Structure 1
Amino acid sequence: MSESGSPQRRIGVYICHCGGNISDYVDVDRVRAAISADPDVVVGKTTLFACSDGTQHEMIDDIHGEDLDGLVVASCSPKLHTTTFRGVSTRADLNPYAYTQVNIREQDSWAHTDDHEGATQKAIALVQAGIAKTRLSLPLEPLRVETVPATMVVGAGITGLRTAIGLADIGIAVTVLERESEVGGWVGRLGPMFPHNASGRAQIDELMAEIAKRPTITVLNNAELVGKTGSFGNYTAKVRLRTETTEELRQLQVGTFVIATGADVYSPEAGELGYGIDGVLTIKEFGDLVDAAKGSGSLTWQGRKVRSVAYVYCVGNRQPGGNEYCSKFCCAATVHASIKVSDLDPSIRQFHLHRDVRAYGRYELMYTESRERGSVYMRYPDDAPPSVEQMPDKRLAVTVTDALTSQDEITLPVDLVVLVTGMVPRDNEDLTTLLKLPTGDDGFYNEIHPKLRPVETVVDGVLIAGACQGPKPATEAVSGGLAAVTQSAGILKKGFAELDPLVATVTESLCTGCGDCLTTCPYDSIASYVCDTGQKATIDPASCKGCGGCVPVCPEDAIDLLGYTSAQMLAAIDGLSVKEPVA
């Protein structure tokens, strides 16, 4: 037995340097020496990178050679490497839920760069807490749920349609919902697009032709997702279909959802950079004007020939206190528009007033072509945006400071001013609430991790793709849709899925059926039933997300959270108070 009275454990502890991110501020050797005094710690090591292949193999060898039954890794955030070290445990025949990740980077070294001694003491306490929690860990097995080989794609823009084709091609039935009367989204309203000058509408028509060849795809227009019941892998989706005179409700069984609802375009306020004045257009309005003039040899506005255009970049984006993000596509779209104008009438003078130009990758070639064909690019200071006024002759005067040449103001007389507007989140409040989709400070949907899990959300089986995650050009949006195809295939093609067993449970003998817990679950996982001893609470493990919100509201302490039991957490708290042993 250990000093705590629990059975003796054999725990391995690995303390990561993180290439200096931790060891520059924490004395990792002192941490190792302190925790090695614990009788349950059989292996205590420091390592340059705990996540490296070499260290993973060393852990596996130690688990086998030392017969370890617990693993503690003190490194970075669990968001980064929980899957990594659970995989190490599994490959070493150690129960993956006997592993604990201790965050001594974000929670310690990075937070206390000015106090190395304090950071070291805190690291010792955090690791001791992790050991105490691991000491009381129980072997858990993943929950197995049967899955339905069908997916619902919400949104029939270019991302949603391409996602549907990808899913059908790997044998998954697909229902695509589009709340508008016509598919295509924003891309379906566009003319020639960069870099291949293919019409947006033509691209959508091509995708629809491909969908027509695949009988396992159903596209529903004027349709919205209004209800969801069931659990991961086997959801019942309630869909409302609208016609001019009727409404119909349908129920469909699906295993996953792919949300591809896209984004909207920023709409300038009246008076913003002259918006509302005759001749001040958004980039979308200007694009329609240019596409309509194709082949005419000239560009006209209100019956007058256009001889000059000024583009004002970053309208509605990169604004302190507003939409602070960059929309990524706007610069390239505007550069492409200027090339189309040059094709139409090379004599039109074009002025690009920008804060920076983001034409990354191959779009840099398009940017170079635009300049070579006569477009003038002028960089204005961040705190001095251009101003737009109408002159007596109905032309427009744009006053701007060109920071690249001088600090003097320049007034440009032009016929049109084009406001280059970026993306903003689409208003999907009902869908967001229904699916409990997480959103960021910018209002777009949040994935679990932008690199490691780029299309998954915290809601199992609900994936996101395309511009609903954040501004991106069509090629990147479609790539996200194909990533969602891969994730859905991984979930649905096997016919079953395995879920984390870190869920809440009810001890029936302690439950008095008071009902206090029934309204606390945001995932509707708690219900009640009647047995011989009265009314009791029960928790559906397939829909429980292990948030633990129900645990503290139970007056009888009848609810516990597997992997984070009350006993484990109290032991971890006690571990935080253990002092470094005196040498």
Structure 2
Amino acid sequence: MEGSDRIRIGVYVCHCGGNISDFVDVKRVVEEVRKEKDVVVAKDFMFMCSEAGQKLIEDDIRSGKVNAVVVASCSPRLHEATFRAAIARAGGNPYMYYHVDIREECSWVHENDKEEATSKAVRQVKAAIAYLRHAEPLNRIRVNCERSVLVIGGGIAGLRAALDLAESGLTVYLVERTPFLGGNAAKIGNVKVFPYEKTAIDIVRDLIERLRRMNSVVVYTNAEVEGVSGYVGNFDVTIKVNPRYFKGKCDEYEIEELKRICPRKTRDEFSYGISERSAIMLPPFKGAFPEIPAIDMALCDKCGLCTKVCNKIDFSQELHIIHLRVGAIIVATGFKPYKPQKGEYGYGLPGVITLQELVGMINRYGDVVINGKRPRSIAFIYCIGSRQRREEGRKVNEYCSRYCCIAALDVAVVIKELLKGVKIYHMVRDVRSYGINELLFEEVSRQGQVIVKYDIDEGEPQVLHDNGKPIVKVKDVLTEHMEIELPVDLVVLVTGMEPSDGTVDIAEKLKISRGADGFLQEVHPKLRPVETMLSGIFIAGTAQAPRGVSETLASASAAAAKAMSLVLKGYTELEPFVAFVDQDKCKGSGLCINECPYGAIVIRDNTEGKKAWVNEALCKGCGACVAVCPSGAIQLRGLKNVQIEDMIRAAGGIHA
């Protein structure tokens, strides 16, 4: 830079109230870096993040002394945005800035060696100065956004997110794989959900009814997302809508006749297999949406008996492909309950069922009946399919499913009221009834239900059988590890959550990261809890992690709020740290295309041949393309190779 454009660097070193200055000689850092070329200001201050500290920077920029800034303080995660904003307020370019962490990286890790902590801080600040010598003013990338959002999944997370978005005035497209909205929460049915004073089905109905009143919501059931392309603000979505083979609602007489006449039967998913359904899938609960039946063509043999009963059946219906453009996407594809293997804790034997099957029984029959009798004693065994130990050659779920303890306690309270005099035992490793759910645990204790705590190191509970009746054998930690045997009428396996098939499928289609547990992964659990690495794609509910109803609804509203903030104003601004191509150097090798994990690079024809081109809205600035480019044509804005090289030299005490 020449004349007024010459780089003029201001360095500001923070004491952090002693967090830094107790272990780093801040005054010496200032004196050392003041000698560096292009440094025109070097100061220290007790709290740089304070209003007074920020004003030091603003005054030096407004006066024309400084046009590039180094702040040496705490973690950039805390205050990098703070100082960028201060530079912008003063009329400077917020990207002519480098943040040096000398608290976590110097003072806190070298508290027993002040000399080394100080020396390291000096080297880090010198590296930042070297970075700024090659820095260029950057501007945020502005991308126009469609004022619409796609919500994938029609359970309570998808319904809640869609409702929030619609109430904000956005157009919402809601896609559900199954023929009816409601998801797993609808299957809980008439069981009350703690801490709500209403049943799960009431929560689902309320969301559906409110959503149906919104004119800006389009619902596609029996449908799947086939593909997604594009980028934040401008996603092109292809949806496959499968035919229902019905062209209208049926009256009550027709519904009863269809139930009776269809010869093809299977286990009903809505009751967790407790009852049967036919190939004609009828609305599973009052208030279900749509109210139009659907035919399961994987089960139907096209016998034609149903067409003699109902004139609304139309086998000529065909699959439809719909193309949409949306500004953001929320993934709320839910979970599936863990299915125990045959023989696991006695599963498959008489009197041994899962918690979901117990709920299905209560909803289907309004009672609990085993072998024709109401059980007089029930044992709940916790952590089935959760917190499993690693075993060679076997898939295990090492995570805690969180919701299971609360769900089991909730159902146990319901059963205690339903079956007067029943004796209930809970075989637990721990009981995780956190927050307000502690009241549920207290209610279980008040009712006289017995907690038996086992230690996994001493062996898991065993389920034996004697004359067809279950016996649970376990060592109880609370009675000095006494081995006890409990003859019961019913054993309930409290199973955890696993990622749904839809979650796995959509993660592959959208290229969303999944964690070691298989659930969709957020950028940061605290700072960016519903965002993915792909801008404009958010996650909600149990697609992200195991959780209960209240947490699912909260995460759905959080995802909706994030999507709103992105698309409501019609545009978004992205960070400028993206790859760019020097067209004169590019040889069109295509290596960068194969290396880019975000599909942000394409080869285009121009007057000089085939050249790489970067879609800035897709690029995440990961630098993978830079590493493989044989000609050095691709660089990152804000972190070019020359900056990295000079930073290394400066940190090592080598002058360029």
**TM-score, normalised with respect to structure 2:** 0.81
**Alignment partner, residue 435 of structure 1:** 510
Cα 1:121–1:422 shift into 2, 3 Å = farther
Whole-angstrom distance in 2 between the partners of 1:349 and 1:262: 34
Identify which of 397, 408, 416 aligns with 2:471. 397
Report the AA paired with residue 85 of structure 2.
G
Q: Secondary structure at the match of 1:300?
A: coil
Cα contact 1:401–1:409 (8 A) shared by 2: yes
Per the alignment, in what secondary structure is the counterpart of residue 198 of structure 1?
Answer: coil
Conserved 8 A contact 2:16-2:73 = yes
Partner Cα separation in structure 1 for residue 107 and residue 348 of structure 2: 53
Partner of residue 333, structure 1: 407
Higher mean C-alpha displacement, 427-436 vs 187-196: 427-436
- Offset at 1:505? 1.1
The farther-off stretch of 389-398 and 37-46 is: 37-46
AA paired with 1:88? A
**Matches of 1:53 and 1:468 in 2, distance apart?**
42
Q: 1:403 to 1:48 in 2, by over 3 A?
A: farther
Partner of 2:234: 234
1:416-431 alignment to 2 at 5 Å?
416-427=490-501, 428-431=503-506
Amino acid of the structure 2 residue aligned with 1:150: S
Q: Which moved more, 1:193-202 or 1:370-379?
A: 193-202
Match of 2:269 in 1: none
> Does the 8 Å CA contact 1:70/1:98 hold for their aligned counterparts?
yes
After the TM superposition, which of the residue ranges 30-39 and 535-544 deviates more from structure 2?
30-39
Take 2:628 and 2:98, find their aligned partners in 1: how far apart are those partners? 26
Q: Structure 2: which amino acid aligns with 1:73?
A: V
- The 3-state SS of whatever aligns with 2:36 is coil
Question: Cα deviations across residues 304-354 of structure 1 (Å, max 9, x unaligned)?
Answer: 331111112222223343433322221111111111111112311111121
1:262 and 2:330 are equivalent in the alignment: no
Are the structure 2 counterparts of residues 113 and 179 from structure 1 closer, same or farther at C-alpha, using a change threshold of 3 Å?
farther
State whether structure 2 residue 85 is matched by structure 1 residue 11: no
On the 8 A contact 1:512/1:536 being kept in 2, the answer is yes
Query: What is residue 524 of structure 1 aligned with on the other side?
Result: 599
SS in 1 for 2:209: helix
User: Which structure is larger by alpha-carbon Rg, 1 or 2?
Assistant: 2
Equivalent residue, structure 2, for 1:313 = 382
Counterpart code for 1:354: V
Write the deviation string for residues 185-216 of structure 1: whole angstroms up to 9, x where unpaired: 11011122222352323322222211211121
In structure 2, the CA distance between the partners of 1:29 and 1:384, relative to structure 1 (3 Å rule), is farther
Cα distance in structure 2, aligned partners of 1:177 and 1:343? 38
Aligned to 2:253: none
Of 86, 89, 104 in structure 2, the residue corresponding to residue 88 of structure 1 is 86
Task: Name the structure 2 match of 1:148.
Answer: 146
Alignment map for 1:134-213 (pairs within 5 Å):
134-191=132-189, 192=191, 193-213=193-213
Structure 2 CA distance for partners of 1:78 and 1:8, relative to 1, 3 Å: closer
Check the 8 A contact 2:532/2:538 in 1, yes or no: yes
Residue by residue, what CA displacement relative to the aligned partner does 1:4-50 show, whole Å, maximum 9, x if unpaired?
Answer: xx944222233464974x66765655544543432434454556665
- Say if 1:385 and 1:425 are closer, same or farther in 2 by CA, change over 3 A: farther
- The 3 A distance-change label for structure 1 pair 107 and 324 is farther
The residue number in structure 1 matching 2:290 is none
**What fraction of aligned residue pairs are identical, expressed as a percent?**
39
Which amino acid letter does the alignment assign opposite residue 9 of structure 2? R
SS of residue matched to 2:361? helix
Question: Does the CA contact (< 8 Å) of 2:375 and 2:489 recur in 1?
Answer: yes
Q: TM-score, normalised by structure 1?
A: 0.90
Aligned to 1:217: 217
Query: Partner amino acid for 2:361?
Result: L
1:101 aligns with 2:99: yes
Deviation at 1:233, TM superposition (A): 0.7
Question: 1:127-161 deviations in whole A, cap 9, x for unaligned?
Answer: 32222112321111111111110000011110111
Sort the Cα spacing of 1:360 and 1:546 in 2 relative to 1 into closer, same or farther, 3 A.
same
Deviation track 1:250-295 (CA, whole Å, cap 9, x = no partner) reads 210100001111222222233332223222222111222334454x
The structure-2 alpha-carbon separation of the partners of 1:52 and 1:386, relative to structure 1 and needing over 3 Å to count, comes to farther
**Do residues 271 (structure 1) and 343 (structure 2) align?**
yes
After superposition, the Cα gap between the structure-2 partners of 1:223 and 1:23, relative to the gap in structure 1 and judged at 3 Å, is farther
Kept in 2: contact 1:35–1:124 (CA 8 A): yes
What letter corresponds to residue 473 of structure 2 in structure 1? T
Distance 1:438 1:106, change over 3 A: farther
Per mean C-alpha deviation after superposition, the further-off stretch among 476-485 and 422-431 is 422-431
- Cα displacement (A) at 1:388: 2.4
Of 65-74 and 413-422, more deviation after overlay is shown by 65-74
Distance in 2, Cα, partners of 1:461 & 1:105: 33
What secondary structure does 1:97 align onto? coil
Change (3 A) 1:291 1:535: closer
Moved more, 346-355 or 512-521: 512-521
With over 3 angstroms needed to count, the CA separation of the structure-2 counterparts of 1:516 and 1:332, relative to structure 1, is: closer
Q: Deviations over 1:437-478 (max 9, x none)?
A: 122222222222222222122211111111222122111111
1:287 aligns with 2:286: no
Closer, same or farther: CA 80–314 of 1 in aligned 2, 3 Å: farther
Task: Tell me which amino acid in the other structure corresponds to 1:279.
Answer: G
What is the Cα deviation at residue 163 of structure 1?
0.8
Corresponding residue to 1:253 among 295, 312, 325: 325
Q: In terms of mean alpha carbon deviation, does 60-69 or 203-212 score higher?
A: 60-69
Q: How big is the shift at 1:82?
A: 4.0
**Aligned residues of 2:464 and 2:473 also touching (Cα < 8 A):** no
Residue in 1 aligned with 2:444? 370
Distance 1:250 1:466, change over 3 A: same
- What do residues 212-261 of structure 1 show as CA deviations (whole Å, max 9, x unaligned)? 11121011112222222222211211112223574332210100001111
**Cα pair distance change 1:30/1:306, threshold 3 Å:** farther
- Local SS of the residue matching 1:264: strand
In structure 2, the CA distance between the partners of 1:358 and 1:15, relative to structure 1 (3 Å rule), is same
| 1:409, distance to aligned residue in structure 2 (A) | 1.3
Q: Secondary structure at the match of 1:249?
A: strand
**In the alignment, what sits opposite 1:552?**
627
Which residue type is aligned with residue 277 of structure 1?
A: L
Whether the aligned pair in 2 keeps the contact of 1:151 and 1:255 (CA below 8 Å) is yes
1:13-52 aligned at under 5 Å gives the runs 13-15=12-14, 17=16, 20=19, 31-44=29-42, 51=49
Asked if the contact 2:462–2:474 (Cα under 8 Å) also holds between the matched residues in 1, the reply is no
Give how far 1:95 is off. Answer: 1.3
**How far apart, CA to CA, are the structure 2 residues paired with 1:116 and 1:397?**
65
**What residue number does 1:484 align with?**
559
Question: Match of 1:365, SS?
Answer: helix
Answer yes or no: is 1:388 the counterpart of 2:462: yes
Q: Structure 1 residues 424 and 115, CA, compared in 2 at 3 Å: closer, same or farther? A: farther
Q: Output the CA distance in 2 between the equivalents of 1:55 and 1:309.
A: 65
Letter in 2 for 1:480: S
AA at the equivalent of 1:10: I
Structure 2 residue runs of 5 or longer lacking an equivalent are: 244-296, 298-316, 391-395
Stretches of structure 1 that go unaligned for 5 or more consecutive residues are: none
Q: 1:407 aligns with which of 455, 471, 481?
A: 481
Report the AA paired with residue 223 of structure 1: A
Contact 1:151–1:256 (CA under 8 A) maintained in structure 2: yes
Q: 1:33 to 1:550 in 2, by over 3 A?
A: same
1:464 to 1:364, Cα distance in 2 relative to 1, 3 A: same
